[in-house]
Structure 1
Amino acid sequence: MRLRNKPGAMETIKDNSQYILTDGSLWKGKWQERFAKEQPIHIEVGSGKGQFIVEMAKAHPDINYVSIELQTNAMISVLEKQLVEQLPNLQLLLVNGADLTDFFAEGEVSQIYLNFSDPWPKKKHAKRRLTYKTFLKTYETISKSGAQLHFKTDNQGLFEYSLASLSQYGMVLNQVWLDLHGSDYEGNIMTEYEEKFSAKGQPIYRLEATFKEK
């Protein structure tokens, strides 16, 4: 995803430090202090323009959410939404999601969302897929015992790979959807990509999996 540079992006980020961070390591183990109330923390790795995470925070005020995105211009779109909503249970983190153990302490997170991640289709790039075993290990490290991972994609190859990767890692697959929008699943909140792909008639794949008890 390539976005046009937004003028004054870094100034906007600096002016709204109550909502957005560029150095999450300062809050490692202390994320609850960033929120109005102490509640379970859910994170989305790769939030894009933020439609999913903002709507989730609006729908579930009893959960604290952290939006994680590497691209500044994408995160500015999330921040713009947050400046309108001013949700007390949403924080933004502009960092590389590959380094989550630098920003979250062991057992600090209750749930993780991966939505429409880059499929990295070539086999030689498998280690870059966000459901590769090293990423799963990172997620497990920062998560509470028995935490869940929720994953959505339009890419069949990535979905099949992820099913195998999670199973081989020892995770329990709770539910799997091969056509999410054609199912009876309720409460689905779509991302911008999801709206685009589903409008073209592409099936959306989804899974919920649980890490083994620690």
Structure 2
Amino acid sequence: MRMRNKPWAMDFLNEHGHIVDTDSSYAGNIQGFFPSKQPIHVEIGTGMGSFIIEMAKRNPGINYVGIELDKNVLIRVVEKVKEQELDNIKLVLLDARKLEEYFGEEEVERIYLNFSDPWPKNRHEKRRLTHEGFLEGYRKIMYREGHVEFKTDNRSLFEFSLRSMNNYGMAFEEVILDLHADEPPENIRTEYENKFSAQGNKIYRLKASF
């Protein structure tokens, strides 16, 4: 999600260092960023934060980490975390390609990929967050019994993800081809999810483990 550039964005984020890590200060010690040690769940690409914030509200016994590369997007997420006074969410300004540098081995229990950029051109497939290059990184930081949850409205990306995960040897715990046809109560909609569903697009979801 791209937003208009705000020249003051980094100053704002740095002023809220108790919520967002802008310089990888907690790399290798993410638990030290939270007031209490709890299982770590990571969302890669926070959007405007509705998903991760609702997850944190519903599950106070889990520590949530939102990874986002766009500093302008993070401003709004920080504001929402402050409004909700949630202490089990922390945000990290980070490129997803550097996850292995930030998190330790088997440190993460679950990874959420919600409406990631589909990168539709074949020459860009290595940038897709379900490409084997990213899967290898997830495997290294993920607890052995953890899993990846992926949602998209893009059928081509969903099919690519199924092939990529299958070729990598992952086990599918759930594959849903029309999530909203019989929407489970635990589903938390993102901003994009509501937008694409309103346009008549089907929402696809899968859960897979290593």
Establish whether TM, by shorter chain, passes 0.5.
yes
What's 2:6 paired with? Answer: 6
Amino acid at match of 1:209: A
Q: Tell me the residue number matched to 2:105.
A: 106
Summarize the Cα distance change of 1:184–1:194 in structure 2 as closer, same or farther, 3 Å threshold: closer
The amino acid of 2:4's aligned partner reads R
Q: Contact (CA 8 Å) 1:109, 1:143: kept in 2 or not?
A: yes
Question: 1:197, CA displacement in angstroms?
Answer: 0.6
1:161 lines up with 2:153 in the alignment: no
Q: Percent identity?
A: 50
For 2:48 and 2:183, locate their aligned partners in 1 and report how far apart those are by CA, in whole Å: 27
Q: CA deviation at 1:75?
A: 0.8
Q: What amino acid maps onto 2:17 in structure 1?
A: S
Normalising by the residue count of structure 2, what TM-score does the alignment of the two structures yield? Answer: 0.96
Letter in 1 for 2:81: Q
Q: Distance in 1 between matches of 2:86 and 2:158?
A: 32
SS at match of 1:27: coil
Any conservation in 2 of the 1:177–1:183 contact (CA below 8 Å)? no
**Secondary structure in 2 aligned to 1:202?**
coil
* Residue number in structure 2 paired with 1:191: 190
Distance in 2 (CA, whole Å) between partners of 1:23 and 1:10 is 11
Ranges of 4+ aligned residues in structure 1 off by more than 3 Å: none
SS in 2 for 1:151: strand
Task: Check if 1:34 corresponds to 2:30.
Answer: no
Please report the RMSD computed on the Cα atoms of aligned residues, expressed in angstroms: 1.1
1:115 equivalent in structure 2: 114
Q: CA deviation at 1:66?
A: 0.2
- Asked whether 1:17 is paired with 2:17, we answer yes
SS in 2 for 1:28: coil
SS of the aligned residue for 1:67 comes to strand
Q: Structure 1 CA distance, aligned partners of 2:113 and 2:120?
A: 17
- Give the deviation of 1:108 after TM superposition: 0.7
- Residue in 2 aligned with 1:93? 92
Whether the aligned pair in 1 keeps the contact of 2:110 and 2:148 (CA below 8 Å) is: yes
1:4 is displaced (CA, Å) by 1.5
Equivalent position of 1:83 in the other structure: 82
SS at match of 2:77: helix
Q: Deviations over 1:39-69 (max 9, x none)?
A: 1000001111111111111111111000000
Alignment coverage as a number of residue pairs: 210
TM-score if structure 1 supplies the norm length?
A: 0.95
- For the Cα contact (< 8 Å) 2:14–2:22, is it kept in 1? no
Q: Which whole-Å deviations, capped at 9, do the CAs of 1:140-187 have from their partners, x for residues lacking one?
A: 101111210000000000000101111110110001111101124221
User: d(CA) in 2 for partners of 1:28 and 1:203?
Assistant: 37
Contact kept, 8 Å, 1:43 with 1:113, in 2: the verdict is yes
Deviation for aligned residue 1:136: 0.1
Q: Offset of 1:8 from its aligned partner?
A: 2.5
1:172 aligns with 2:148: no
Question: 1:59 and 1:20, CA in 2 relative to 1: closer, same or farther beyond 3 A?
Answer: same
What's the CA shift for 1:200?
A: 1.1
**How far has the Cα of 1:85 moved from its partner?**
1.1
Name stretches of at least 5 consecutive residues in structure 2 with no aligned partner. Answer: none
In 2, Cα distance between the equivalents of 1:10 and 1:126? 30
8 Å CA contact 1:100, 1:138 repeated in 2: yes
User: Would the aligned equivalents of 2:41 and 2:63 in 1 still touch at CA under 8 Å?
Assistant: yes
CA distance in structure 1 between the partners assigned to 2:181 and 2:162 by the alignment: 20
Q: CA deviation at 1:208?
A: 0.5
Give the Cα–Cα distance (whole angstroms) in 1 for the partners of residues 63 and 17 of structure 2.
17
